[in-house]
Amino acid sequence: MSDTLTHDEKIQKVREIIKDIDFGMLTTVAADGSLHSRPMSTNKNVDFDGDLWFFTKASTLKVDEALAHHQVNVSFTQPKDQRYVSVAGTAELVRDKEKIKELWEPELKAWFPDGVDEPDLALLKINVESAEFWEGPSSFVAFAAGM
């Protein structure tokens, strides 16, 4: 498969797969070197021109970890179709209220009951550096950078 898709088609493919999956697992490196992951909502609203955006509170462990060791991973799994995506990138905290309002979705109230007025609300922006995906038991395509 890696031979038949162009770079743009690969990016398109990853974007499509992620769009179908509501949640990714965000893995960060803790101060002691251990790796922790947690589910994060993509809001089905994946603006995947190289960036993933997650809503979070700014004062949380995952943000501390992502700002100390910037490199993170987000994995997406769709077992019923045997689709798996690994996205490697660097994390950045964005507190811009305009961007927060632009990306806000009502479903996020489950985690942030005060909505965009929640003072600690922020965005964790993942600058994607490489992505890999698997479809079926063995095929996979990897591509790097310039996404």
Ligand X SMILES: Cc1cc2nc3c(=O)[nH]c(=O)nc-3n(C[C@H](O)[C@H](O)[C@H](O)COP(=O)(O)O)c2cc1C
Residue 70: closest CA among 54, 91, 99, 39 = 91
Q: Which helix (H) or strand (E) holds 87?
A: strand 83-94
Decide: helix, strand or coil at residue 135: strand
Q: Rule CB under 8 A: choose which of 15, 77, 127, 143 binds a second copy.
A: 77
112 binds a second copy (CB under 8 A): no
Q: Check: CB of residue 57 under 8 Å from CB of residue 92.
A: no
Nearer to ligand X, 84 or 143 (CB): 84
Selection from ligand X, a second copy, none that 69 binds (CB < 5 to 8 A by kind) is a second copy
**What SS3 class is residue 134?**
strand
Report the nearest approach of a second copy to the CB of residue 98 (Å): 27
Output the furthest CA–CA distance in the chain (Å, rounded).
48
Chain residues in the site for ligand X (CB under 6 A): 23, 38-41, 54-56, 60-62, 82, 84, 111, 134, 137, 140
Asked if 103 and 48 touch (Cβ cutoff 8 Å), the reply is no
CB 48 within 8 A of CB 18: yes
86 touches a second copy by CB under 8 A: yes
Q: Kindly tell me which residue out of 4, 6, 59, 138 binds a second copy, with binding defined by CB under 8 A.
A: 138
Binding interface with a second copy (CB under 8 A): 21-23, 25, 27, 29, 33-39, 69, 71-73, 75, 77-79, 84, 86, 88, 110-111, 129-130, 132, 134, 137-138, 140
